[in-house]
Amino acid sequence: MRSKFQKRSKKTGLSPGSLVHVGSKYSEKSKITLIRYDETFFTEKEISQIADFRSEKDKQGIKWLNIDGLQDIKLFEDIGEFFGLHPLVLEDILNTDQRPKMEDYGEYIYLVLRNFHGQENGDLLSDQVSIILGKDFILSFQERESDLFDSIKDKMNKNKGRIRKEGTDYLAHAIIDNIVDNYFIVLENLEEKIEYLEDDLVKKATPSTLDTIHILKRELILLRKSLWPLREAVSSLGRSDSPLINKSTVVYFKDIYDHTIAIIDTVETFRDMLSGMLDIYLSTISNRLNEVMKVLTIIATIFMPLTFIAGVYGMNFKYMPELEFRWGYFGVLGIMLVIALLMLMYFKKKKWI
Amino acid sequence: MRSKFQKRSKKTGLSPGSLVHVGSKYSEKSKITLIRYDETFFTEKEISQIADFRSEKDKQGIKWLNIDGLQDIKLFEDIGEFFGLHPLVLEDILNTDQRPKMEDYGEYIYLVLRNFHGQENGDLLSDQVSIILGKDFILSFQERESDLFDSIKDKMNKNKGRIRKEGTDYLAHAIIDNIVDNYFIVLENLEEKIEYLEDDLVKKATPSTLDTIHILKRELILLRKSLWPLREAVSSLGRSDSPLINKSTVVYFKDIYDHTIAIIDTVETFRDMLSGMLDIYLSTISNRLNEVMKVLTIIATIFMPLTFIAGVYGMNFKYMPELEFRWGYFGVLGIMLVIALLMLMYFKKKKWI
Amino acid sequence: MRSKFQKRSKKTGLSPGSLVHVGSKYSEKSKITLIRYDETFFTEKEISQIADFRSEKDKQGIKWLNIDGLQDIKLFEDIGEFFGLHPLVLEDILNTDQRPKMEDYGEYIYLVLRNFHGQENGDLLSDQVSIILGKDFILSFQERESDLFDSIKDKMNKNKGRIRKEGTDYLAHAIIDNIVDNYFIVLENLEEKIEYLEDDLVKKATPSTLDTIHILKRELILLRKSLWPLREAVSSLGRSDSPLINKSTVVYFKDIYDHTIAIIDTVETFRDMLSGMLDIYLSTISNRLNEVMKVLTIIATIFMPLTFIAGVYGMNFKYMPELEFRWGYFGVLGIMLVIALLMLMYFKKKKWI
Amino acid sequence: MRSKFQKRSKKTGLSPGSLVHVGSKYSEKSKITLIRYDETFFTEKEISQIADFRSEKDKQGIKWLNIDGLQDIKLFEDIGEFFGLHPLVLEDILNTDQRPKMEDYGEYIYLVLRNFHGQENGDLLSDQVSIILGKDFILSFQERESDLFDSIKDKMNKNKGRIRKEGTDYLAHAIIDNIVDNYFIVLENLEEKIEYLEDDLVKKATPSTLDTIHILKRELILLRKSLWPLREAVSSLGRSDSPLINKSTVVYFKDIYDHTIAIIDTVETFRDMLSGMLDIYLSTISNRLNEVMKVLTIIATIFMPLTFIAGVYGMNFKYMPELEFRWGYFGVLGIMLVIALLMLMYFKKKKWI
Amino acid sequence: MRSKFQKRSKKTGLSPGSLVHVGSKYSEKSKITLIRYDETFFTEKEISQIADFRSEKDKQGIKWLNIDGLQDIKLFEDIGEFFGLHPLVLEDILNTDQRPKMEDYGEYIYLVLRNFHGQENGDLLSDQVSIILGKDFILSFQERESDLFDSIKDKMNKNKGRIRKEGTDYLAHAIIDNIVDNYFIVLENLEEKIEYLEDDLVKKATPSTLDTIHILKRELILLRKSLWPLREAVSSLGRSDSPLINKSTVVYFKDIYDHTIAIIDTVETFRDMLSGMLDIYLSTISNRLNEVMKVLTIIATIFMPLTFIAGVYGMNFKYMPELEFRWGYFGVLGIMLVIALLMLMYFKKKKWI
């Protein structure tokens, strides 16, 4: 569970809007990539400071500024000033424990999302992705470099699909769509594990089965925690009356909304399945205990009376007439056999064996 | 659980609206059936490509185009262009893991439904059925050929009921009604199994009982997952103010809505019953363990003291006066009998036997 | 659980509005009773076909037509035509697995209710009662003859209460009120059983206790299933702006609404109580297992060491000095006694005995 | 659980509004107290019939009529006529199984509440208190005499607080406030028991602990059943736009509303705590079973092999060389000791001892 | 659980608005601190009675009066009169068991919050903080002196952030923000404990693990109880149309609202995790019982038959031919070995060892 829940205590007492990075440290230097494009062209270059953007600002086309790495506080102060961002927005970009949300600041829309991108020791890893959606610019912030935007850039470069023809809202939609698709990959992984577990459960449930159920449950809890606010954020985008969102793009946000609903449905279904499997597991343990106890009881019930009889004729009384009988020994052995058989028949009738 | 949740990962990174079939492959070639009818006539023919429809388009009557099989991407691109469908609609038709939904695109209404039609290895099978409801045409898409529409065509052919007199909305209603009726059949199957299980539970619960409960629970989870959105979709149809839905048809959608509510109620009732049965099963196991343990304890409690006494008189001490007694042996046997009877009386009093 | 959930499969594929009776068959012939009354007179007579009603139709007073038995399809087609009922209403009257509901068709209000009227083998029995509430007529449909309306007719006859002075809405209210009162009787029965169970639980819980809990739970599930829609239907009646419902009657529907809420509350309370009792039952079983195991452990712990000691001195070694001791035997017996007492003290300290 | 749920069956079939007292019988004769007061005076007297009130009716000040005892049907008919109460209101006053509610009849507001006032055999006792709030009069009805109103009368008499200066709505508020305060007392009692239980749970959980949890749970269920409708009723009062409620009094109803919310919160918290304690109790039982079984297993595992060895050398074979060994006996004893020690070390390592 | 739920019983029967302090007593004397500030200056001084404030009242700047300690009833009467507070507000300030809430009284807004500030014996400690937010003054009330406001005063003094430039609403926001930050600290503590517990659970679950789960659960219940109303109160502030709240401050309240949502999410996640851990714990106990029983059964199943055989040849029958065999003894030993090995192989196959 480590590092799922950020340590905010270092922020306690600071005034709201104070810029402090809260989250995992990845690199000291942020990497800034500037993409400019419209239907006719597409350029991508790396810039070293926000001042370099000044000359590009009023050029033609949509400007997309992607920042990887959130350690460089100075950079974020510059960005805040340059684009006129609210201090709380800057604070939220830097604090990487935000719930997904969408906030309309009039001039721009602020979006926070969580991108799930892998697992480590059975723990899901996710990074915060923040998006500022303006009229002719879009800012995206990631905790560190990733390949999240590669497919989008690729499509832009090859001028495939509608992405070069549409505005910043469609670009934002493409980013969110990519992030939501990553949830599907996580779910597929989970599904495989659940299927595997289910096969196991019937054949050979061990304590490690329990462990796996526990880990899968925890992953679902974490997924859920970011899914519900994501759904809300995407829904707000779809219902937004901001001039930044075109009518024609709304149907695309509605589509993403459907996907998040489908993901939530699947997560809930998985939860139900895991609960069912835990029940099965517990019943299996109880059944096994029953099996063990039956074996013990059968053995004890057969041999205790027999041992007792043997004990009786092992007594050293002077006058024990049976001991003198010619067929006494074999008679007793015979009686013992009959008792054992009667016991076995009793257990057979009780369906214990 | 296999194939319940579609692998979407192959779509990740593609731009939205890209046409890729996601789902089980059934056949390479789609089968296109064209039905044209009004109150006075009914014709049905198979066509091989969408171009063949061009000549029929402006003819009199309602045109119903049914497509079985979703592998032929080219066909769907043609359909999309011909009918002016939104790319996302085409995408949803091809991705067969959609939740049931209803979307009003003004010119047409898009409907997704799941048709449950059987079981295999205890897993419910369902296919996606998509419906495009236009002013004088209706498009229906199935993953593969089925007999879902046979009864409707039959009624049309024999001119029974209102179906030939009403518009496309009534035809859509008939299709949905058929699909909802299939849920009732699934429920009847489930009910039979639950009844059978319940009889079993009291008499002879085995680990396989648990398995059956588990499987039934999972089926209910799957049913539920498609029922709630279905209810929503049908409700949207009933409350829709689209000009494509006649006032007089609304009451029929309301009727279907009542059916979905009744189905959901029954599913919830079944869930409650299965939960109750799991509790019963677990208690039954506990009760049996108690029974087993009682047998063991009774046997041990009777024979352990007796064996001990026998052991005492089996000791080889030189000076053991009882051994010399004339009636020592029979005395000891008598004492053993008394002890055994006392024990039995004790257990009788405790209601163990 | 038998016959709780109707077999609708025979209806699958029929066009909606097809008249087929779905439900238990009671008698082939329907019995039609016609009551006409106003403040000044009250007449009741049996008629054999709907045509007989034609002459009465325009007579003075409120006409109440009660039909017992739903097998006579022809009769219902006549009724539908005569009163101008929607085909779906006729269909719902005949399919006796409807959820309680209220539907306003403008000219008339259609009501479905479930009347609980007894128990058989621990299963609650209920019949569907349908009511058509028109301006000056009321139609009521029952699956078979019952005494449900006897008290109402009695009051009418004796001209007690407001029933003769008010309109059809008040009569409908009286019918619903009777049906809701029957829920109270069912609840009183359940309460008695729950109380009895509770007394049992503490003193002598047996597996049959579990069975009773299970059966009571199932009955509550069934009650609940019809109670929530009933509440909704009654609430719709109270909030209805139909001209068929007088302002002054609304407060009576509000009163029934309060009763249904109270019934639902009680059902939920019973459910909570039964859940609590199941917990108690399971704990009781666990406690008993503990008791059984303690007895076994005490016996084994005392006699195993003693038997071992006896075994040691039963060995046949040539050189075993103790055997020769004069007081060896009694010494060993003494040691055994001390061991047994020490064990008992240990168990005493552990509060096992 | 006795007498929590009233027997309504005796009312079944009566027309609504029929006056029959449903509930516990306390005394045949109702006691009527008339209080008249305004800012300048306060008088209290007992009257024997409602006719006695006629002369007081138009006198100055607020008239508060309190009736203790609900058996005298005639009295209630008189009251209903005199004050123009709706028959359903009278019926609800007499049926003491009402859920708390607030009903605005225009001329007057009708309030039903439950006053919890003690416990008997672990069962909470509550009486129904009905209030009719008119423009210049207030009627209150109790099942029997109680000290519920003493503190209010006392304050009135001593002219403390605002009660003499305000209208009937403030008086109603004072009554409800008293009743809500009684819930706090019940909660304090419960809290004490829960604390006591919690201390017990850790140290010495017995089956009686389970019983106490069960009883406390049931009391919370009963409390809850009346709390939620109470909250609704108080909320309706606060939001009411009736001319009977002054603007300045609304804030007082809001205050009571806050109290009911706080009470509900505490009840829910207690429920959560009791559920947690049941879990603890069940785990404790399981833990104890484990302890018992470990003792048994340790004893059996040590003595069974030893007894077997003793048994071997107790065999009577002619040729058993060890028997002849000089140190055979002591050797075997030594081996037995070693085996016992090895076993103990094994259990030590397994942390069983 | 002590002192979580205040004893209100001493208030029962008093008229609403009576000033009685309900809660823990800390000191007899309240400490009054007066801060006055605007963008240009900042002064802080202690005053001994509310009359001292009279001269400051109309001076320039925002007046912040902080009162620590709620025992001095006279002081609160003075404050109520001076600032024209509603009696119910004063009552709520003094009764320290309020749920967090926000009430708009037009002239001023009344806020109640709970400040969590530590733990004692595993119990969370919280104090009630009340805030009266007026146009140019703010009153804050604490149960006792704390360092809650130190960081705010410090920032004011050093003129850091916006706090000196904004109005009373921003100051209120700063106080609430501090209190909400304290929840984060509590959560971090809880997270650490949960992590520690989780590590423990796998390796060495003991009954004390259960205890810890129980305690953590109870803490979450308490946190939750104050979190939901807190969220509601903060949300009301954000949506308030009171002239006391500036448009520009609303976004800050929205920010706090996001924090409370995040806290609630985390608390719910922790609850889910603890439930999961309890399941794991119970399964672990069951597994251990299984282990113990297997050991017992293996031992018993091997040695009981062997002991029986030894017993047979310990019988003293005259005629037992095997006893005379030369290799009888070794033969029997061999047979015993074979039986033991067969048993072991059986258990191996059953995966018990």
Residue of B nearest to A198 (CA): B1
User: Which of C200, C222, C299 to substitute to test the interface with B, most B CBs within 10 Å?
Assistant: C299
Give the other-Cβ count within 10 Å of C55's Cβ: 8
State which residue of chain E sits closest to D298, comparing Cα positions. Answer: E296
pLDDT over threshold 70, residue C16:
no
D window 237-266, beta carbon within 8 A of C? none
Looking at chain E, the whole-number percentage of residues with pLDDT higher than 90 is 33
pLDDT bracket for residue C10 (50, 70, 90): low
pLDDT tens-digit profile of B31-40? 899 999 988 8
Q: What is the pLDDT of residue B4?
A: 44
Q: Measured between beta carbons, which residues in chain B are less than 8 angstroms from residue A174?
A: 15-16
C2 pLDDT band, cuts 50/70/90, is very low
Q: How confident is the model at residue C328 (pLDDT cuts 50, 70, 90)?
A: confident
Name residues whose C-beta falls within 8 Å of residue C202's C-beta, 6 or more positions apart in sequence.
Answer: D211
Q: What does residue C67 show for φ and ψ, rounded to 5 degrees?
A: -115, 120
Token digits of residue D41: 């005076």
- D341 φψ region: left (φ > 0), alpha (ψ -120 to 50), beta (else): alpha
**B209 in Cβ contact with B281 (< 8 Å):** yes
- Mean pLDDT confidence for E19-46: 83
Cβ <8 Å between A332 and E314: no
Q: What are phi and psi of D280, to 5 degrees?
A: -60, -45
pLDDT digits (tens, 9 = 90+) for D168-189: 999 999 999 999 999 998 898 8
Q: How far apart are CA C104 and CA B251, in angstroms?
A: 11
* Residue ranges of E strands in chain E: 31-37, 42-47, 62-68, 101-104, 109-120, 123-133, 137-142
Residue D162 pLDDT class (50, 70, 90 cuts): confident
D267 pLDDT exceeds 80?
A: yes
The mean pLDDT value for B115-134 works out to: 83
Averaged pLDDT for residues D286-298: 88
Distance CA A142, CA D61 (A): 74
Q: Is 80 exceeded by the pLDDT of residue C188?
A: yes
Per the prediction, chain E carries an average pLDDT of 86
**Which strand ranges, in their side-by-side order, compose the sheet holding A42-47?**
A42-47, A31-37, A62-68, A137-142, A123-133, A109-120, A101-104
What does the pLDDT read at residue A4? Answer: 44
Residue B34 pairs in a beta bridge with B45, B65
pTM above 0.90, yes or no: no
- Percent of chain D's residues with pLDDT above 70: 93
Contact B126, B117 (CB under 8 A): yes
- Of residues E9 and E166, more confidently modeled: E166
How many beta-carbon contacts under 8 Å exist across A and B? 168
Assess contact for D319 and E323: CB atoms under 8 A. Answer: no
Q: Which residue of A has its CA nearest to E271?
A: A221
Predicted confidence (pLDDT) per residue in E134-144, tens digit: 998 999 999 88
Q: Which of B156, B173, B147 is nearest to C16 (CA)?
A: B173
Chain B CB contacts of C86 below 8 Å: 251
Q: Is C221 on the interface with B (CB under 8 A)?
A: yes
DSSP structure class, residue A110: E
Residues of chain A above pLDDT 70, percent: 93
The verdict on a CB contact (< 8 Å) between C310 and B314 is yes
| Beta-carbon count within 10 A of C241 CB | 6
Residues of chain D found within 8 Å of residue C185, distances taken between Cβ atoms? 9, 12
**pLDDT tens figures, C253-303:** 999 999 999 999 999 999 988 988 888 888 888 888 888 888 888 988 899
pLDDT given for residue E67 in this prediction:
92
Q: How far is CA D82 from CA D36, D75, D89, D91, E156, in A?
A: 18, 10, 14, 16, 68
Residue C325's pLDDT band (boundaries 50, 70, 90)? confident
Give the per-residue pLDDT at B267: 93
Check pLDDT > 90 for residue D129.
Answer: yes
- β-strand partners of E214: none
Q: Specify the pLDDT at position E17.
A: 61
For residue range B94-104, list pLDDT tens digits in order: 988 888 999 99
AA letter at E163: I
Chains that touch D (3 or more CB pairs under 8 A): C, E
Per-residue pLDDT band at D13 (split at 50, 70, 90): low
Cα C52 to Cα C36: distance, rounded to the nearest angstrom: 14
Closest CA to B65 of B31, B38, B89: B31
**Mean pLDDT taken over chain C:** 86
What does the pLDDT read at residue C7?
A: 52
Residue among D183, D283, D353 with most chain E CBs within 10 A, to mutate: D283
Give the pLDDT confidence of D83-123 residue by residue, as tens digits.
999 988 998 999 888 889 999 998 999 999 999 887 666 67
The answer to whether D318 contacts E328, with C-beta atoms less than 8 Å apart, is: yes
- Which among C310, C320, C324 is the nearest to B308, CB-wise? C310
Structure-model confidence comparison of residues A124 and E255, the more confident one = E255
Of A160, A279, A312, the CB nearest to B15: A160
pLDDT at B17: 62
Is the pLDDT at A122 greater than 80, yes or no? Answer: no
> How confident is the model at residue E161, as a pLDDT?
74
Within 10 angstroms of residue D197's Cβ, the number of other Cβ atoms is 18
Q: Any chain B CB within 8 A of the CB of A291?
A: no
What local confidence, expressed as pLDDT, does residue C8 receive? 56
Within 13 Å of residue A152, how many CA atoms lie on the same side as its CB?
22
The reply to whether residue D15 touches residue C293, judged by beta carbons under 8 angstroms, is: no
- pLDDT of E3 over the 50 cut: no
Q: Which residue does chain A place closest to E251, by CA atoms?
A: A88
ipTM: 0.79
- C315 close to B (CB below 8 A): yes
Predicted confidence (pLDDT) per residue in A164-211, tens digit: 888 899 999 999 999 999 999 889 889 888 888 888 886 777 778 888
User: Are the CB atoms for C310 and B308 separated by under 8 Å?
Assistant: yes
| Res. C48: pLDDT tops 90 | no
Q: Please name the residue ranges forming H helices in chain D.
A: 73-83, 87-94, 150-157, 168-204, 207-239, 247-312, 321-324, 328-349
Q: Is the pLDDT of residue C106 over 80?
A: yes
Predicted confidence at residue C285, as pLDDT, reads: 86
The size of the C-D interface in CB pairs under 8 A is 165
Is C122's pLDDT higher than 70? no
Q: Which residue has the higher pLDDT, A22 or E294?
A: E294
**Which residues are CB-contacts of E120 (< 8 A; sequence separation ≥ 6)?**
none
What pLDDT does residue C55 have?
Answer: 83
Buried-state track C263-300, b at ≥16 Cβ within 10 A, e below 16: bbbbbbbbbbbbebbbbbbbbbbbbbbbbbbbbbbbbb
- Could you tell me if A287 lies within 8 Å of chain B, comparing CB atoms? yes
Model confidence at B8, pLDDT cuts 50, 70, 90, reads low
pLDDT band at D279 (very low <50, low <70, confident <90, very high): confident
- Residue E166 pLDDT exceeds 60: yes
**Chain C closest CA to B95's CA: distance in Å?**
28
The answer, yes or no, to whether residue B321 has pLDDT greater than 90, is no
As to burial, measured by CB atoms within 10 angstroms (0-12 exposed, 13-18 middle, 19+ buried), residue C70 is buried
Q: Does C295 touch chain B (CB under 8 A)?
A: yes
Cβ-Cβ contacts under 8 Å, B352 against chain C = 292
- Give the pLDDT mean for C149-155: 88
Percentage of chain C beyond pLDDT 90 is 33
Residue of E nearest to A286 (CA): E286
E353 touches chain A (CB under 8 A): no
List, for residues A307-337, the tens digit of each pLDDT value. Answer: 999 898 888 888 888 888 888 888 889 999 9
Q: CA-CA distance, A327 to A163, in Å (whole number)?
A: 102
pLDDT over 70, % of chain E: 92
Q: Across the interface, do D8 and C181 touch by the CB < 8 Å criterion? A: yes
Q: How far is A314 from chain E (nearest CA, A)?
A: 4
pLDDT of residue C1: 36
The residue ranking higher by pLDDT, B3 or B145, is B145
Residue-level pLDDT at A62: 92
Angstrom distance (rounded) from CA B268 to CA D229:
26
Q: Going edge to edge, which strands form the sheet with D42-47?
A: D42-47, D31-37, D62-68, D137-142, D123-133, D109-120, D101-104
* Residue B11 scores a pLDDT above 70: no
Q: How far is Cα A260 from Cα A244, in angstroms, rounded to an integer?
A: 22
Nearest to B170 by CA among B245, B230, B100, B109: B245
Residue pointed to by tokens 């005493």: C348
**Residue numbers of D between 136 and 195 with CB closer than 8 Å to C:** none
Contacting residues of B for A316, CB less than 8 Å apart: 313-316, 320, 323
Nearest CA in chain C to B283: C282
Residues 6+ apart with CB under 8 A from A137: A62, A63, A64, A65, A83, A168
